[in-house]
Amino acid sequence: MGKTEMGKEHMADYVDVNGRKIRIRTPEVSEIDENGYFRRQSNAFTGHLGSKEHPVEKGRYILFWSTGCAWSNRAVIVIDLLGLSEAVKTEAVDWTDRPEDLGWEFVHSPGHINPETGAQFLSELYYNTDGDYKGRTTVPALVDYRTKTVVNNDFQMLTVLLETEFSPLHHPEAPDLYPVRQKDKIDRLNSWLYQNVNDAIYRACFARSVEAYYEGYHTFFDSLSVLNTCLEKQRFLLGDYITDSDIRLFTTLARLDINYSRHLGPCPGLSDYPNLWDYARDLYQVPAFRRHTHFQEFAARQDSDRRGQNFRFHPYYDMVVPGTDFPELWSVPAAREKLSSDPPHRFMIK
């Protein structure tokens, strides 16, 4: 049974795809409360990598992610920065072209079948892990391809697990993105970022009441002002070096002008926060950030079309966005080195 509305249960529906019994996607309605606020589902799979059950091993896990998704984009950037790309596979998923809403499909695998797991849809792996799973089947999902089960879809913890538990597999010169002496600060900052920035924008975009919309909207933009002030005198969020927190902020900022604003309606742009705009471009100079930031995908229309939220025609999204070279715009140097006591280096090496 799946929940479609608060308090209402219904039988799950299935369709047959190439002899596979695929469950129809669970809509977000169960995440809207009685006052129209979006309350994100909790992360169902929080397996601790590095435990006896889920040992850290090369060639055992695959991370499914989507180029448009800020939560999963973080993990791919971290894997690249830490030199884990050989040890942990990554594969981008995309929304299925099928008429039924079936969620993420392995469209980049040969014949749409992911070779490590034999699955065609991400949902197959979720229900293989828990046949009674009730939520949306989301990325990021780290899958153990020996057991074909989802070990972890906890976007809050995933990058930290990669930064800590996977350290035996890191490149010898990998940056320290989660230094022990800054751990508490990073954890506190990450919670603040989640509540006030990363999730706040979704609370506005998915709001189903005026009150809920303004809660998300004001929380988000007020927080950008706070961050803009904080970044006036320091290069990165915690000083001279990039940490896990910067990656979390970056993936949200990169989507503001091209994607989130489409759902929000009239709102400020990133360049209205000059320090944040320079800071975002400073991060974009790092190859691992640049390689996994697919502006053209953020600009794609399917997401809003799917939710029926797009404007019919809007010159900005229909002409300006497709006609703008975002990688070039973001490549303009930011000149923030002067704020650092170690200008040539963006990373602390262990």
Ligand X SMILES: N[C@@H](CCC(=O)N[C@@H](CS)C(=O)NCC(=O)O)C(=O)O
- Told to judge if 69 belongs to the known catalytic residues of this protein, a careful annotator would answer yes
Name the minimum Å distance from CB 32 to ligand X: 13
Quickly count: other Cβ atoms within 10 Å of residue 117's Cβ.
23
Q: Which is nearer to ligand X, 161 or 339 (CB)?
A: 161
Q: Which residues pair with 217 in a beta bridge?
A: none
Q: Which is nearer to ligand X, 155 or 250 (CB)?
A: 155
Distances (CA, A) of 322 to 47, 289, 295, 325, 330: 41, 21, 10, 8, 15
Name the minimum Å distance from CB 25 to ligand X: 5
Which position among 61, 126, 178, 202 bears the catalytic label? 202
Q: Which is nearer to ligand X, 205 or 321 (CB)?
A: 205
Does residue 105 contact residue 10 with C-beta atoms inside 8 Å?
no
Separation CA 191–CA 46 (nearest Å) = 17
Site for ligand X, rule CB under 6 A: 25, 40-41, 43, 66, 69, 71, 103, 136-139, 153, 155
Q: Which is nearer to ligand X, 74 or 336 (CB)?
A: 74
Residue type, 159: T
Does residue 66 contact residue 139 with C-beta atoms inside 8 Å?
yes
Taken in order 130, 159, 327, 216, the sign of the CA dihedral is positive
Name the minimum Å distance from CB 316 to ligand X: 22
Q: Which of 153, 137, 124 is nearest to 63 (CA)?
A: 153
Which position among 37, 69, 145, 279 bears the catalytic label? 69
Name the minimum Å distance from CB 199 to ligand X: 9
- Told to judge if 230 belongs to the known catalytic residues of this protein, a careful annotator would answer no
Distances (CA, A) of 71 to 50, 77, 206, 332: 22, 11, 16, 26
Separation CA 31–CA 12 (nearest Å) = 17
Q: Which is nearer to ligand X, 124 or 278 (CB)?
A: 124
Name the minimum Å distance from CB 232 to ligand X: 31
Q: Which residues are catalytic?
A: 69, 202
